[in-house]
Chain A
Amino acid sequence: MSTVTLEDIIKPENLVYKKTDLMTDKSLSYCPGCGHGTAHRITMEVLEELGLDEITIGVAPVGCSVLAYEFMNIDMTQAAHGRAPAVATGIKRVWPEKIVFTYQGDGDLAAIGTAETIHACNRGEKIVIIFVNNGIYGMTGGQMAPTTLPGMKSSTSPYGREVEMMGNPLKITELVAQLPGTYFVTRQAVHTPAAVRKAKKAIKKAFENQRDKKPGLSFVEIVSNCNSGWKMTPTDANKWMEDNMFPFYPLGDIKTDGQLLK
């Protein structure tokens, strides 16, 4: 029996998956099981497939994905906490022919950056916002986020989020869908292969909208897990997400072609 080497296997005819060149070779700093890596990858795959990478400028937030620019192999600007939509506005206004997007978490987008988010959406900035919602502040160690569910435990709601005292979780995606400046608003997930395919399609549509100069902002929420913050195994976290997050944050398109659905 002859020995099979790695070189024998990695041949073009055997290739079933190739990492996009738009992801760097740096190991992801995200926890195993986290959805960020997948969200990064499909975003970069979309840019590659649409051939937009050479004219794209991404804006990284503050939060777990603060280092997104270490992994996304494109030109990027790192914004102050919550300010990514304003930073993206600045870039897009002076370079209207470029493709500009922000990649933000829920603390960044829906708490400290609410004003920038709402106003960029309401002005109808011709940008894409990718919003990863895992219901918790991951980077700082699992504190309560604006999207933390009622009763959900975090390090700043250790006995569960008590709505009367801590307020309600914010459905910012439904909120921005109401604004005339948004053109496409959708909520997706990346926890199963089918979900990833759908999410990628949505992200693709968002960038196509910008490329085709559609009138308004495209907003893609990705409901994701945070197994470290939620203190669960990755599989338990995905199960918990399906059972608890999805009923509160239902998946699917909310607004397409500038029209609210239902």
Chain B
Amino acid sequence: MGELKLMKGNEALAEAAIRAGADAYFGYPITPQSEVIEYLMAEKPWERTGMVVLQAESEVAAINMVYGAAGAGKKVMTSSSSPGISLKQEGLSYIAGSELPCVYANVVRGGPGLGTIQPSQADYFQSTKGGGHGDYRQIVLAPASVQEMSDFVKLGFELAFKYRIAVLILSDGVIGQMMEKVELFDPIPRMTDEEITAKYPWATTGKKKGTQRRIITSLDLDSHKMEEHNHHLQEKYRIISENEVRYELIDCDDAEYIFVAYGSSARIAQKAVQLARAKGIKAGLFRLISLFPFPGKEMAALCKKGVKGWLAVEMSAGQMVEDVMLSVKGCAKVGHFGRYGGIVHSPEEVLHAMEEKIIGE
């Protein structure tokens, strides 16, 4: 058993970065995720593991530092909250185009604009459909506990390097700010410079004479080559869709009415399941862990087992619900419930919505 600690989600994410053997974290403060860089600066990982931590002049600079360091084969990470993540989109598009591995976290707050500092899940479209310019995807993992804030950093780096892709840990103000018991995984040593040079031949580490030079770029002025590159990217996303779907079913075996949710909304919906069961309603929870890839096939398969209705619960005006509808179309009724703008819905509200919108009709 690993070390047990009581930690905030943001702190667990930061500690996990050190333990995952990250080489660098580049960030910029913004509520509600500033604890990430605060924790790292207090913890001095440069003394523990040699990990670099730098407060950049902006989120834009931070993601470009990630781009540079990732292109040079290092394990790098950044994090921010919604307005700051919008600023990072340019860099993320370049990272997608150049196929670089990195992990970043969005501790989502309510928007649009400067919005509020309170929790939200309104960045689903931005996270799962691309976010920046161009046809691209990134792997999106949605932690629903402090434990997963830690675990997904380790998993995120594994997936990032396996596919040379950005992995987004899509959290929110609830998961970032709350404290829970967390079992920390054992530290993974950072890779040595020699290991990196040997393992990542694509990385810019200096061209040895008589070898091919490495170029990290997303540019190709020849459109035919660029289309080919896009085909390659799409093929990669297809492989990821087939292999990296993650979800959890809670009380779904006999469920007639299923809540679909991720992150903090999944926790709230889980309570709504308990309240529903206490009232004799056969409710269950389909908790999404990977938002891209989306577990649509699994949802459709479950739907055929006699599900009468689905309620997508998300702290947004209705974003994830579109993917639920595409997945179970024609099979059962699909509805949406969510508070937004920084309001967190209560389990009672969530159950009431299921009764009103799905069961009632």
Contact = CB atoms under 8 A, between A and B. Distances in A.
In the complex, A touching B (Cβ < 8 A): yes
Interface of A: 53-57, 59-60, 66-67, 69, 73-80, 83, 86-91, 93-95, 98, 115-116, 119
Given A89-B65, A93-B52, A116-B61, A80 B71 contact: no
Nearest to A58: B204
Nearest to B204: A75
Nearest to B24: A94
Contacts of A56: 206
B283 interface: no
A93 B24 contact: yes
Q: Which of B60, B61, B68, B71 has the largest count of A CB atoms less than 10 A from its CB?
A: B68
A93 B27 CA distance: 14
Nearest to A115: B57
B56 interface: yes
Interface of B is mostly: mixed
Residue from B52, B90, B215 with most neighbouring chain A CB atoms (10 Å): B215
4 closest cross-chain pairs (CB), A and B: A90-B68, A90-B65, A87-B68, A86-B64
Given A69-B215, A98-B205, A115 B58 contact: yes
Interface string B207-224: 111000111111100000
A80 B205 contact: no
A74 B205 CA distance: 10
25 contacts: A54-B207, A54-B209, A66-B219, A69-B217, A73-B213, A75-B206, A76-B217, A77-B67, A77-B216, A78-B215, A78-B216, A79-B64, A80-B91, A83-B64, A86-B56, A86-B65, A87-B65, A89-B65, A90-B64, A90-B68, A90-B70, A90-B76, A98-B206, A115-B61, A119-B56
B206 A76 contact: no
B72 interface: yes
B123 interface: no
A80 B63 CA distance: 11
A78 B64 CA distance: 11
B57 A119 contact: yes
A45 to B, nearest CB: 16
Given A76-B215, A83-B64, A91 B69 contact: yes
B207 A75 contact: yes
A54 B67 CA distance: 21
Nearest to B58: A115
Contacts of B35: none
A192 to B, nearest CB: 31
Given A59-B68, A98-B205, A90 B24 contact: yes
B11 interface: no
Contacts of B215: 69, 75-78
B54 interface: yes
Interface in B210-244: 213-219
Nearest to B216: A77
Given A93-B52, A115-B58, A80 B90 contact: yes
B208 A87 contact: no
B336 interface: no
Contacts of A116: 57, 60-61, 64
Given A75-B214, A77-B216, A93 B64 contact: no
Interface in B39-88: 52, 54, 56-58, 60-62, 64-72, 74, 76
Contacts of A60: 217
Contacts of A94: 23-24, 52, 69, 72, 74, 76
B67 A79 contact: yes
Contacts of B214: 75-76
Contacts of B208: 54
Given A94-B76, A116-B61, A88 B68 contact: yes
Nearest to A60: B217
B187 to A, nearest CB: 19
Nearest to A83: B64
B152 interface: no
Contacts of A76: 204, 213-217
A83 B71 CA distance: 14
A175 to B, nearest CB: 15
B124 interface: no
Contacts of A69: 215, 217
B218 A78 contact: yes
Contacts of A77: 67-68, 71-72, 204, 215-217
Given A79-B64, A93-B24, A94-B52, 11 more contacts: A56-B206, A75-B213, A76-B213, A77-B67, A80-B91, A83-B91, A87-B64, A90-B26, A91-B68, A94-B24, A94-B69
A95 B205 contact: yes
Contacts of A57: 72, 204-206
A23 to B, nearest CB: 12
Given A74-B213, A78-B219, A116-B57, A93 B69 contact: yes
